[in-house]
């Protein structure tokens, strides 16, 4: 049986902690701006200093994604991206860098594709796990059984509205790390990440030994430094996607832009001692 890279993910997050810094976790959708271009962008982000990358599985109804990621998903879907392309993206990004790569996806595509097939293929591709923002924990047993069998992390999302009892239920079922949404609403850059995120991290840590990584709204080194002061990982997505959109079809310029942003953010997550 092929097993995934949940151990690599854990080791990577532990290494960042040992270096007294937060991990930098980047998000980019597969197939954006093309399948090959998306793979190149992920390699560039790793080259710039990202520790982990989440590969988005583009979906036609991305209810939790803001306009920037929706635009990228639309480009990928119009380009004909398939789950096979997502798996290829994971494989090539991981094999080229040796770093942990996860998939972030809504539940419906997995349900249609087949849980066993999806987890087996993700493990074979060298994936570290899956972030499932809309899968209720109470309905996740079958998924977790297959993910565990194939050595894949199951990362659930917690929000500021999550009560302490609910946090305990979610963190008990998850693995790899906990994805803490810094605020209520959809993805996208924000002027400020806010105090809600710090409080959510504190409450989540009280229920779990897993690293707590914060996403939604971080777009620059200043914000990354702020979040790194209280979280184990800083997750950035829309800002990377926007850099590629701003390149307006110039792939080389887009790659330079995301590499430079990753380098800036990688400096930001190094906490001031």
**Helix intervals (H) in 82-149:** 83-97, 107-113, 115-124, 141-149
CA distances from 4 to 1, 125, 173, 178 (A): 10, 8, 18, 18
Strands annotated E in 88-188: 101-104, 129-131, 153-155, 157-158, 178-181
- Count of domains for the chain: 1
Annotated catalytic residues are 54, 65
The structure's pTM equals 0.94
Show the domain range for 114. Answer: 5-269
Closest CA to 243 of 227, 262, 224: 262
Per residue of the chain (273 residues), what is the pLDDT tens digit?
A: 677 799 999 999 999 999 999 999 999 999 999 999 999 999 999 999 999 999 999 988 766 678 899 999 999 999 999 999 999 999 999 999 999 999 999 999 999 999 999 999 999 999 999 999 999 999 999 999 999 999 999 999 999 989 999 999 999 999 999 999 976 444 444 444 567 889 999 999 999 999 999 987 788 999 999 999 999 999 999 999 999 999 999 999 999 999 999 999 999 998 654
Residue 5, classed as helix, strand or coil, is: coil
Ramachandran quadrant class, 235 (left: phi over 0; alpha: psi -120 to 50; beta: rest): beta
- The number of beta carbons lying within 10 Å of the beta carbon of residue 161 is 11
CA distance 63 to 31: 19
Q: Give the per-residue pLDDT at 273.
A: 46
pLDDT, mean over the chain: 92
Domain CATH number, residue 46: 3.20.20.70
């Amino acid at each position: 049986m092929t097993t995934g890279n949940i151990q690599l993910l854990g080791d990577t997050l532990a290494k960042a902690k040992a270096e007294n810094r937060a991990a930098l976790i980047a998000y980019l959708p597969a197939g954006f701006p093309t399948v090959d271009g998306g793979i190149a962008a992920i390699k560039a982000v790793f080259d710039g200093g990202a520790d982990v990358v989440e590969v988005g599985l583009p979906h036609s109804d991305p209810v939790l994604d803001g306009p920037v990621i929706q635009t990228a998903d639309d480009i990928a879907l119009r380009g004909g991206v398939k789950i096979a392309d997502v798996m290829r993206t994971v494989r090539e990004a991981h094999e080229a860098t040796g770093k942990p790569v996860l998939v972030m996806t809504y539940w419906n595509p997995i349900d249609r594709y087949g849980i066993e097939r999806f987890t087996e293929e993700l493990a074979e591709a060298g994936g570290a796990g899956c972030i499932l923002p809309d899968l209720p924990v109470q309905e996740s047993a079958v998924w977790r059984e297959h993910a565990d069998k194939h050595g894949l992390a199951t990362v659930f999302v917690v929000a500021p509205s999550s009560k302490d009892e609910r946090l305990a239920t979610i963190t008990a079922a998850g693995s790899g790390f906990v994805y803490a949404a810094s605020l209520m609403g959809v993805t996208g850059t924000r002027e400020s990440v806010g105090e809600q995120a710090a409080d959510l991290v504190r409450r989540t840590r009280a229920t779990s030994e897993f690293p707590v990584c914060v996403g939604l709204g971080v777009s620059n080194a200043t914000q990354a430094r702020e979040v790194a002061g209280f979280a184990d990982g800083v997750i950035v997505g829309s800002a990377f996607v926007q850099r590629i959109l701003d390149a307006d079809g110039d792939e080389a310029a887009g790659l330079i832009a995301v590499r430079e942003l990753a380098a800036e953010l990688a400096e930001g997550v190094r906490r001031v001692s």
